């Protein structure tokens, strides 16, 4: 089903005050990083040979769509909510450059894995550097070569309400395997409470991968 874009009525919007306070600021975004426990997820991925990036990006896609504020966009000064948002991610090319790659949100991991794997292969043959309207999407970028404690991405006012999720190199912490996950959002549409909900849901899904990937 295609995403439906619906204008938010500010007269009944509970975050109207925060929306108006932050929507026009020069630097209106929040960029945060939290380490997510992926011990069970990594074990599940290895047992089923699913591919780590496809598995974690599927879970991220589910979480983003479960938090309505991450589906909110400011377009031409007006606030809208999308019924669903699709993931787009970066793909490393053979010459160490990278390309954008648009995917889709699916209910099941099997559908998502098949579609996204095919799109990645297509992108490696035909790179995509387009920067058109992608308000119906959100972005995932992967930097598996290093861990990080904070990360900030370029900001563009026109598309500044599109969330950007970054995953880094996982690392051992005691008997746990931890993944740094960065999240950059626009404070006009997202608060710290919603960031907490994102990380809480992602940690829950990574802790019970069999419930979401099988």
Fold of domain 5-213: Chloramphenicol Acetyltransferase (3.30.559)
Identify the bridge partners of residue 137 per DSSP, sorted by sequence position: 86
173: confidence class by pLDDT, cuts 50, 70, 90: very high
pTM of the model: 0.95
pLDDT given for residue 130 in this prediction: 78
Q: Mind telling me the catalytic residues? A: 187
Instruction: Tell the burial category of 174 from Cβ atoms under 10 Å away from its Cβ (0-12, 13-18, 19+).
Output: exposed
In the predicted structure, residue 60 carries a pLDDT above the cut 80: yes
Q: Each residue of 131-145: pLDDT tens digit?
A: 778 999 999 999 999
Q: How far apart are CA 59 and CA 131, in angstroms?
A: 25
Task: State the average pLDDT over residues 139-164.
Answer: 95
pLDDT of residue 54: 97
CA distance 93 to 80: 35
**How confident is the model at residue 158, as a pLDDT?**
84
Q: Give residue 1's pLDDT.
A: 65
* The dihedral sign for the CA sequence 57, 61, 66, 72: positive
Taking a C-beta distance cutoff of 8 angstroms, is the pair 56, 176 a contact?
no
pLDDT of residue 175: 97
Q: What is the pLDDT of residues 161-172, one digit of tens each?
A: 999 999 999 999
Cβ 70 vs Cβ 164: under 8 Å: no
Q: Comparing 18-32, 126-140, 172-186, which segment has the lowest mean pLDDT? A: 126-140
Domain ranges of the chain: 5-213
From 193, 197, 163, select the one nearest 67 (Cα to Cα): 197
pLDDT greater than 70 at residue 76: yes
58-69: average pLDDT: 98
Percent of the chain at pLDDT above 70?
100
**Residue 67: what are its φ and ψ, rounded to 5°?**
-105, 100
What percentage of the chain has pLDDT greater than the value 90?
90
Contact 91, 123 (CB under 8 A): yes
């Amino acid at each position: 089903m295609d995403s439906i874009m619906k204008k938010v009525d500010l007269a009944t919007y509970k975050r109207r005050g925060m929306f108006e306070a932050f929507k026009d600021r020069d630097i209106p975004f929040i960029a945060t990083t939290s380490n997510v426990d992926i011990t069970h997820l990594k074990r599940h991925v290895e047992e089923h040979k699913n591919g780590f990036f496809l598995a974690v990006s599927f879970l991220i896609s589910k979480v983003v769509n479960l938090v309505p504020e991450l589906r909110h966009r400011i377009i031409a000064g007006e606030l809208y909510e999308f019924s669903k948002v699709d993931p787009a991610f970066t793909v490393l090319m053979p010459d160490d450059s990278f390309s954008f790659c648009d995917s889709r949100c699916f209910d099941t991991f099997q559908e998502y894995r098949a579609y996204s794997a095919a799109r990645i292969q297509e992108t490696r043959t035909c790179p995509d550097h387009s920067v058109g309207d992608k308000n119906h999407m959100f972005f995932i970028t992967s930097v598996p070569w290093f861990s990080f404690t904070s990360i900030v991405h370029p900001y563009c006012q026109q598309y500044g309400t599109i969330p950007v999720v970054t995953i880094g190199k996982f690392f051992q912490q005691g008997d746990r395997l931890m993944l740094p996950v960065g999240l950059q959002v626009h404070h006009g549409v997202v608060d710290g409470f919603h960031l907490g909900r994102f990380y809480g849901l992602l940690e829950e899904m990574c802790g019970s991968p069999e419930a979401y990937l099988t």
